[in-house]
Structure 1
Amino acid sequence: LLSVGSCPVLAQEASPYSYENQLDINNAEYEDIARLPLPADLAEKIYDRILYQGPFTSIFQLREIEGIDQPLLLKLKPLIRIEPYMERSEREERLEEL
């Protein structure tokens, strides 16, 4: 545990993402999104938003998710990119399971 002010917080692992290695958020699995420097509940909200409402068309749409404020968006912006959502065929999914 780390302490920020008087509030203890869990130490997060360093994000594997960077400006040179951005996460394609629309095509990411939950586990990939959870590696971003944000709370697990927000990672779940981002994943659910893509799953149930469709992909993002702009990084700024992340602000529509409750809990993502401007400072957090600015922290995430260099770590992610917005690519068109790619439908995966049943065959691709089966091959990945093997």
Structure 2
Amino acid sequence: LTWHDVILAVAEFQRASMECLAYFDYYQIILPRLVNLKFPYPEYNPLWMGAFTGDLGIAEKLLRAGIPAWFIRHEDTVTNKTNLSGKVKPHEPDAVLAMF
């Protein structure tokens, strides 16, 4: 195997392992939270990446499951009555991982 092949194999193993862990979290933690709704909603897990969505229904489901979520809206839809917890300006990443 070449060095390039080893890097690809390790990356594929990491991806598959992380996908398995995500399935475990989904079936053991997230799905039960969506089926049995409780209030107040559970705290979010800081180890989960979360999701960006423009769909209000999906944002509510993520919130109920304790998944970090960012609800993206066009600037024109925000009114004076809209409750904003924070406004974030996008910026360039500090580092970019590239293929070897």
Common fold: TM-score over 0.5: no
Instruction: Report the TM-score when normalising by structure 1.
Output: 0.26
Larger Rg computed on CA atoms: 2
Instruction: Report the TM-score when normalising by structure 2.
Output: 0.26
In proportion to residue count, which structure has more strand? 1
Structure with more relative contact order (C-alpha pairs < 8 Å, separation 6 or more): 1
